[in-house]
């Protein structure tokens, strides 16, 4: 095993872990002041619950064996039989434990992306059940199907760091959640802290280097390409969103710039290690335009996706997967795309992302309906009016005398 790769993967794992608190700050700033702690709690609690679930069954279901190309088996449940000094992969560049931890951080953040959609509308007990069930029925199957050698990998589907596995699955699950729980009583609640949104964006942007560059799983030219592509796409997307919103609304909006950056980061994720720098610029522009238009469509259709999870992550993931099918180049990696004459790969990517979106939507909606038989999913009108911080958690984000 190589010390350099061990250090690299430990660093990338730490960066991805930092993204979960970053998301808590990002969502916490966007939420109304009566619901800050509620959504931050939903985000942070995944660090505990998901880690336990991952160690008990998650890693095994994703990366051990194969059942019908959909899911793994339980041979590695509780991580049994994995020695602490066992090398991961054929090249053995780092211990398996690092790979387990790295993938665990992806599992931690993916379901909490969904929480921004149903802010102020879901009970904490129902959310905890949802957090566990969604991973078992949606996230783990996608990890196995694409990254664990399952059926989508056999079809030739590629997803460098989570366009389908993370963003499309979470984004369309968010849409299903919004349709199930319905609209908020007060849909005009403004962000309580734009500086908090900025801090969250900064942490997410910083952590995303580990998210994307680390997905190369070693220090090489592809990891450096993914690193730079990540920053380029985010910058182009943020600037595109800023300009479009400025033209449409007459003023440059800071929240719009920050949201555009997240859209660019989500969109480049599946393609980061497969496309050249010039393509990352185009993908960033497409992310800024596409995700901004998705927000306008969502508003027009009346979907109360409070923090634009579907528009930014769901549509960003779709654009990213399709862009990978178009711009993948053998000049930087082993895969060619539509521009290099490989139409077959392009259509495989489209089919895969469409299937993933439908799967995530249907399973999530059905799951929430089943959970509602166990415990109420939606808060009462009184709890929603008071705010979930006080009504569910008995806490306040800020002392009222300070505001």
Q: 3-state secondary structure string, 15-79?
A: HHHHHHHHHHHHHHHHCCCCCHHHHHHHHHHHHHHHHHHHHHHHHHHHHCCCECCCECCCCCHHH
Query: What gap in Å lies between CA 279 and CA 220, rounded to an integer?
Result: 20
Q: Apex CA 204: angle with CA 200 and CA 208, to 5°? A: 175
Query: What gap in Å lies between CA 67 and CA 54, rounded to an integer?
Result: 18
- Residues sharing a CB contact under 8 Å with residue 213, sequence separation 6 or more, in sequence order: 12, 223, 224, 226, 227, 230, 272
Query: What gap in Å lies between CA 285 and CA 232, rounded to an integer?
Result: 10
212 neighbors 351 (Cβ within 8 angstroms): no
Which string of b and e fits 33-70 if b means at least 16 CB within 10 Å?
bbbbbbbbbbbbbbbebbbebbeebbbbbbbbebeebe
Looking at residue 403, its pLDDT comes to 47
Tell me the domains of the chain and their CATH numbers.
3-393 (1.10.3430.10)
Query: What gap in Å lies between CA 290 and CA 4, rounded to an integer?
Result: 39
* Distance from the first to the final alpha carbon of the chain: 54
Q: Using one digit for the tens of pLDDT, what is the confidence trace for 342-370?
A: 999 999 999 999 999 999 999 999 999 99
Provide the token pair at 317.
């993931």
| Max CA pair span of the chain | 64
Those residues of the chain that have pLDDT short of 70 are 400-403
Looking at residue 396, its pLDDT comes to 87
219: left (phi over 0), alpha (psi -120 to 50) or beta: beta
Query: What gap in Å lies between CA 403 and CA 395, rounded to an integer?
Result: 16
Give the containing element (helix H, strand E) for 246. helix 221-249
Query: What gap in Å lies between CA 143 and CA 71, rounded to an integer?
Result: 8
Q: Using one digit for the tens of pLDDT, what is the confidence trace for 102-153?
A: 999 999 999 999 999 988 899 999 999 999 999 999 999 999 999 999 999 9
Query: What gap in Å lies between CA 310 and CA 173, rounded to an integer?
Result: 8
Looking at residue 323, its pLDDT comes to 98
122 neighbors 41 (Cβ within 8 angstroms): no
Distances (CA, A) of 193 to 118, 304, 313: 19, 20, 22
Partners of residue 67 on adjacent β-strands = 71
Looking at residue 400, its pLDDT comes to 66
211 neighbors 102 (Cβ within 8 angstroms): no
């Amino acid at each position: 095993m190589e010390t350099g790769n061990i250090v690299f993967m430990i660093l990338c794992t730490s960066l991805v872990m930092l993204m979960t608190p970053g998301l808590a700050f990002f969502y916490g700033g966007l939420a109304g002041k009566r619901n800050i702690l509620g959504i931050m709690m939903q985000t942070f609690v995944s660090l505990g619950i998901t880690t336990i679930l991952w160690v008990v069954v998650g890693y095994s279901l994703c990366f051990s064996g194969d059942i019908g190309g959909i899911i793994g088996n339980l041979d590695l449940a509780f991580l049994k039989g994995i020695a602490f000094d066992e090398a991961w992969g054929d090249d053995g560049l780092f211990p398996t434990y690092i790979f387990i931890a790295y993938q665990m951080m992806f599992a931690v953040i993916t379901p909490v992306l969904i929480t921004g959609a149903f802010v102020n509308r879901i009970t904490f007990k129902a959310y905890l059940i949802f957090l566990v069930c969604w991973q078992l029925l949606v996230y783990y199957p996608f990890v196995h199907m694409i990254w664990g050698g399952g059926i989508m990998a056999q079809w030739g589907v590629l997803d460098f760091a989570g366009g389908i596995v993370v963003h499309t699955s979470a984004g369309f699950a968010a849409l299903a959640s919004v349709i199930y729980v319905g609209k908020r009583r007060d849909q005009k609640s403004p962000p309580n802290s734009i500086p908090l949104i900025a801090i969250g964006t900064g942490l997410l942007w910083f952590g995303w280097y580990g998210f994307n560059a680390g997905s190369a799983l070693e220090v090489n030219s592809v990891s450096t390409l993914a690193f730079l592509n990540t920053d380029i796409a985010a910058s182009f997307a943020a600037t595109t969103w800023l300009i479009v919103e400025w033209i449409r609304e007459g003023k440059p909006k800071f929240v719009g710039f920050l949201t555009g950056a997240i859209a660019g980061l989500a969109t480049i994720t599946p393609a980061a290690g497969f496309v050249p720098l010039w393509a990352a610029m185009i993908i960033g522009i497409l992310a800024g335009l596409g995700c901004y238009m998705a927000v306008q469509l969502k508003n027009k259709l009346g979907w109360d996706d409070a923090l634009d999870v579907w528009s930014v992550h769901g549509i960003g993931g779709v654009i990213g997967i399709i862009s990978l099918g178009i711009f993948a180049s053998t000049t930087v990696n082993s895969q060619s795309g539509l521009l290099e004459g490989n139409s077959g790969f392009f259509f495989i990517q489209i089919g895969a992302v469409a299937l993933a979106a439908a799967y995530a939507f249907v399973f999530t909606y059905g799951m929430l309906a089943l959970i509602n038989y166990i415990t109420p999913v939606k808060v009462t009108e009184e709890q929603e009016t008071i705010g979930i911080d006080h009504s569910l958690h008995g806490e306040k984000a800020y002392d009222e005398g300070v505001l």
